[in-house]
Structure 1
Amino acid sequence: MNTLLWVLVGVLVYSLVAKALQIRGYLPDSVRLQGPIATIHTRRGRALLTRLARPKRFWRAYSNVGVGVALVIMAGMFVLLLFQAVTILRNPPAPSAVNQPQNFLVVPGVNDFLPLAVAPEIVFGLLVGLVVHEGGHGLLCRVEDIDIDSMGLVLLAIIPLGAFVEPDEESQRTADRGGRTRMFAAGVTNNFVLTAVAFALLFGPVIGAVGVAPGVAVDGAYEGSPAATAGVANGDRITAVGDTAVGSESDLDAALLAAENRTVEVEVDGDRTVRVERSLVIVGSVAGNPANLSVESGEDPIRVTAVNGTPVDTRGEFRDATADREVARIETTAGDAVVPVGAYVTRAAPDGPLANASAPTNASMIVTEIDGKRVTSSGDLARVLDEYEAGDRVPVRAHVDGEFETYDVRLGENPRDGRGFLGVDIFPGTSGLLVTDFGVRDYPAGTYLELLGGDGGSGSATPFPGLTDSPLSLVYVALILPLASFVLGIPNFPGFTPAVTNFYVVEGPLAPLGDGVFILANVLFWAAWVNLQLGLFNCIPGYPLDGGRILRMGTEAVVSRLPVGDPERLVRTVTTGIGLTMLASLLLMIFGPQLLS
């Protein structure tokens, strides 16, 4: 059974046991059950809220700002959800990890993007969010002289699901409409303020205290690769190859190419040495590659044994064997193939430099030479282009649909470093095959740090220039980092988990905290992330969410000025119609891809 089914079974068992305990009188009166939902009620804390509410003018001004923000977000949420629902109905997306129903739950271990490693931080963020949300309602109740019957927590089984403040119904009815609106908006206002404070601390002093540790961060080794056989694994940092220090993936690539011996000594974490017996293997492939070879994730790699009959064990030997041959016979354990050897273009931008030189944008293309310089791989292509500036004209030779063509290209400007740019996406490796004599996947430690507003290090060049130029863009990036594989094309970032803290160092004034800085960063990251989600969700204009209650107050205010005979009926019709539309849109977002595709 899958994880979600186990969770549902657990919730059912919990509900039956809890109901049995309630029937037998073992649960106190303060605990009330409705299926798997339990509410814990208390009257404590009302005196504290009354004292905090004394500067009433300040709290009313604060909440009036919150009402304005909530109204704008409510309108945005209505348009967004409605647009998403219409889009799903017209063109249902294929089911994917992003739109699986369990991934709409903020439950670590159940949601594929919220790992158990950061469950404490997520739960803490959720609890804080619920407390400040309902605390805002309670505080504004006292500001507006609305009595409070009780306060407490809402639990789904043993998981905190929400908090609540129960205003006295009679007292609430006698309060003016503006006071009730401010009271309903206070919860989401507090969530947004907490989000802003947490992000300000995260992007400021906390991330500023984190730097990238020296070396190449290893996200893992390909199954069956030389590195995996030698014991190099996730969490390691490669700091040197032989006597050559490495600080980036390009440094590691250059050091391995320069190493002449098949066996190399690799320094890991700066304090241990691993001997790697290199062999040339194919650990990945792109569909439609000219060798017609396929390597799927998790499969053993294909061994490359020779090029045109010459044995090869390293990429340096492979490059030498193909330096004067644009077409070569590649001999592998999966069979032989005659292929053009070069950098495989997966996409040429329609308005890019190569396309502007009349190169096709929808054809199979392998770049083999630039300005007379041989290109045998994606690495060669990057190194050659680094020798040119934007605006330089160079001849580019490529194998296109079975023929060699030469294009006169005026290079564009690379947005990362300002160097020459072809305007193409390249599959790593050679001729659509990821060929390696080492076999590690690097972890983009510097990229993540830059995306959070930090310093990615001198060897880091973010693939997303300009994405973090403003505070709002930093917030956007932080929100999508747990889904980075779908939005940015890099591995998902759950925070500074124990598996990745070896890739970073703590420096500056916060250095005495040591690894506590990573814990603080995780707490701030997830507190901000969860609170923003809580605030946005509660702004959906549908009952019983705060957005639905604010919608009712606003509708009553408008209808009261209209010459209608039954204003209450019109208010009920408008709010119910919008609420049902929002509910249908949410259900389509959650279940539509599975039911309609």
Structure 2
Amino acid sequence: MDALTALTIFLAYWAIVEFLKRRGVLERRGITAYGPVLMIRTERGIELLKRLARRRRFWIVLGNAGIPAVFAGMVFMFVLILFMDYTLFTSPPPPSDLTSPRNALLIPGVNQYIPLVWGLIGLIVTLIVHEFSHAISALSENIRVKSLGVLVALVPIGGFAEPDEEQLLHHSERGTRLRVFSSGVISNFITAAIAFSIFFYLLGFITPSIAVLSSDNPDLKVGDVVVEINGVKVTSPDDISKAVGEQGKIVLKLADGREVQLSGVTGVKIVQVVDGYPAKEAGIQEGWIITAVDGKKIHTLRDFLKAMEGKKGGDRVEIQVFDGSEYRNYTLTLKDANGRGLMGVQVTEYFAGVTFSYFYAENILNTLRGIPSMLTNPAGWLFLISMPIIFFNSFSFPITAFFHSSVGGWIFYALNTFYWIGWINFYVGLFNCLPAVPLDGGRVFYDVAEKLGGKRSAEIASKFLSSLIFGSIILSIVIPNMPR
């Protein structure tokens, strides 16, 4: 669907909302319209929440645990906002998908980084967890909940629980308010931790496969899975090397039963030659193919890495390269770099014009599995926040073709579900920590500031921070897209 069609549908929806609002239809059904956003209320489900709220001690402990979690998230996110402001004014980024207004919204299908189905599942779970936690926490503190409901702007975009604001804000103790405000955030964090734990566990059931990542051959397309080479089953780069051996011919058998014959050299393609290193000094050029090292044939990137393993500065290596028309032989004296001997080239796999997905998939898998160990420093948390944008979005085709599952294809659906439940819960929890009213962090900040400095000081600080934060978010969209 293009942008014009989407806009037309949305404007038509808004016109219908305005028509029903003016006719009083929405009001009669307990629906409130704020522009195109509908608040659809119901009292159904409150009795269930009351039963859950009977475990009062649990909800008090949860709310108390949420207070320091909110402040930790508050500091982290506020520092992130300040860093964003500094970047915007010192080196504003150019217009891009990242700075597009549509991607500022956490709406699956609108935000291009959030897939519709998996994002919608994650968003629904997040909203239910967040709002129901507020409601149950309020009920456990004997604060009335007037209604539950959803926010709709053509599609569901949020959920809400309506505690009695008068009772919560003016007739309850400060500790009670802080627990109620913090319960949604801590519940999101706990849900994210559980979902990500399941996600990391399920990663153990998949391994990289041999599939086509790119190809110059018109008979091969991205995602084609290779099961045999020259009649030998292949599941790893080592299998590829054994299957090719010294043979000149290369016949691939694909999972769909087709056979494709390749012609051309195999090895690693030089994509960069580094100044000051022996390869550059010898006249070796980008685009050439390294086909052998010290007499050992190179068919895959792993072959090359094995051949160079253990080499030190001063060691001599003999390499064979193909320059596009003929083979050349060079003897290089490796240069020392942190105890390793390097010839000074950056390479990528080149298999007769085909690049296999194994190392790409292995990198994805190793990075995802390594995330828990990355969370020992702030950079790891930043990576987690930005992961769907800068690294990994979902297990969808052709990426699913790059992996083999030991338990069947359903594993990819499960991985996507828990990935997005975890990420959206984590992101929404963090965003709600910001010290800006009406976010939970803003309410917690105001209450604590009032305790420490009085009502007047709390109001001034709260208004200033709210304006700064929401202004910064708006500027992060406006400045990169301003005409230059």
Which TM-score band (shorter chain)?
Answer: 0.7 to 0.9
1:314-351 CA-partner distances (Å, limit 9, x unpaired): 226xx9xxxxxxxxxxxxxxxxxxxxx98453557xxx
Structure 1 residue 113 displacement after superposition: 2.2
User: Which residue number in structure 1 is paired with residue 87 of structure 2?
Assistant: 87
Q: 1:405 to 1:543 in 2, by over 3 A?
A: farther
Letter in structure 2 aligned against 1:315: V
Secondary structure of 2:113 counterpart = coil
Letter in structure 2 aligned against 1:393: G
Choose the corresponding residue for 1:389, options 285, 289, 310. 310
Q: 1:554 to 1:384 in 2, by over 3 A?
A: closer
User: Which residue number in structure 2 is paired with residue 422 of structure 1?
Assistant: 342
Q: 1:176 to 1:218 in 2, by over 3 A?
A: same
CA distance in 1, matches of 2:341, 2:5: 51
Choose the corresponding residue for 1:494, options 366, 386, 393. 393
| Contact in 2 for aligned 1:412/1:422 (Cα 8 Å) | no
Q: 1:515 to 1:422 in 2, by over 3 A?
A: same
User: Which residue number in structure 1 is paired with residue 440 of structure 2?
Assistant: 546
1:230-279 CA-partner distances (Å, limit 9, x unpaired): 2x223321122213433335754775684424xx421112x62423353x
User: Which residue number in structure 1 is paired with residue 326 of structure 2?
Assistant: none
CA distance in 2, matches of 1:425, 1:88: 36
CA distance in 1, matches of 2:228, 2:333: 40
| Contact in 2 for aligned 1:396/1:409 (Cα 8 Å) | no
Query: Gaps spanning 5+ residues in structure 1: where?
Result: 279-313, 320-340, 349-353, 399-403, 414-419, 430-434, 454-465, 487-491, 561-567
Choose the corresponding residue for 2:143, options 125, 143, 146. 146
Structure 1 residue 63 displacement after superposition: 0.8
User: How many correspondences in the alignment?
Assistant: 468
TM-score by length of 2: 0.83
| Contact in 2 for aligned 1:542/1:549 (Cα 8 Å) | yes
Choose the corresponding residue for 2:352, options 431, 437, 442. 437
Q: Does 1:217 align with 2:137?
A: no
Higher mean alpha-carbon deviation, 578-587 vs 467-476, is at 467-476
Q: Does 1:243 align with 2:231?
A: yes
Choose the corresponding residue for 2:409, options 500, 503, 515. 515
Q: 1:275 to 1:202 in 2, by over 3 A?
A: closer
Q: Give runs of aligned pairs for residues 347-496 of structure 1, distance below 5 A.
A: 373=294, 383=304, 386-389=307-310, 391=312, 393-395=314-316, 409-410=335-336, 412=338, 420=340, 422=342, 426-428=346-348, 437-440=352-355, 442=357, 444-453=360-369, 469=373, 480-483=386-389, 486=390, 492-496=391-395
Question: What RMSD in Å do the two structures reach over aligned CA positions?
Answer: 3.9
Secondary structure of 1:216 counterpart = coil
User: Which residue number in structure 2 is paired with residue 315 of structure 1?
Assistant: 265
Q: 1:551 to 1:372 in 2, by over 3 A?
A: closer
1:140-176 CA-partner distances (Å, limit 9, x unpaired): 2112222222221111222x22111222232121111
Q: 1:207 to 1:476 in 2, by over 3 A?
A: farther
User: Which residue number in structure 2 is paired with residue 416 of structure 1?
Assistant: none
User: Which residue number in structure 1 is paired with residue 324 of structure 2?
Assistant: none
CA distance in 1, matches of 2:196, 2:31: 36
| Contact in 2 for aligned 1:378/1:428 (Cα 8 Å) | no
User: Which residue number in structure 1 is paired with residue 159 of structure 2?
Assistant: 163
| Contact in 1 for aligned 2:357/2:402 (Cα 8 Å) | no
Query: Gaps spanning 5+ residues in structure 2: where?
Result: 320-329
Structure 1 residue 504 displacement after superposition: 3.7
| Contact in 1 for aligned 2:335/2:341 (Cα 8 Å) | no
Q: 1:105 to 1:6 in 2, by over 3 A?
A: farther
CA distance in 1, matches of 2:271, 2:33: 61
1:32-91 CA-partner distances (Å, limit 9, x unpaired): 211110111112233322222223233212111111010111112111101111111011
Letter in structure 2 aligned against 1:29: R
Q: 1:78 to 1:241 in 2, by over 3 A?
A: same
Q: 1:397 to 1:480 in 2, by over 3 A?
A: farther
CA distance in 2, matches of 1:103, 1:494: 14
Letter in structure 1 aligned against 2:310: E
Q: 1:18 to 1:38 in 2, by over 3 A?
A: same
CA distance in 2, matches of 1:410, 1:251: 32
Structure 1 residue 536 displacement after superposition: 1.1
Secondary structure of 1:410 counterpart = strand
Choose the corresponding residue for 2:252, options 266, 285, 310. 266
Structure with the bigger percentage of helix? 2
| Contact in 1 for aligned 2:295/2:318 (Cα 8 Å) | no
Letter in structure 1 aligned against 2:307: D
| Contact in 2 for aligned 1:129/1:530 (Cα 8 Å) | yes
CA distance in 1, matches of 2:95, 2:296: 39
Structure 1 residue 136 displacement after superposition: 1.1
Secondary structure of 2:423 counterpart = helix
Secondary structure of 2:395 counterpart = coil
User: Which residue number in structure 1 is paired with residue 31 of structure 2?
Assistant: 31
CA distance in 2, matches of 1:113, 1:425: 34
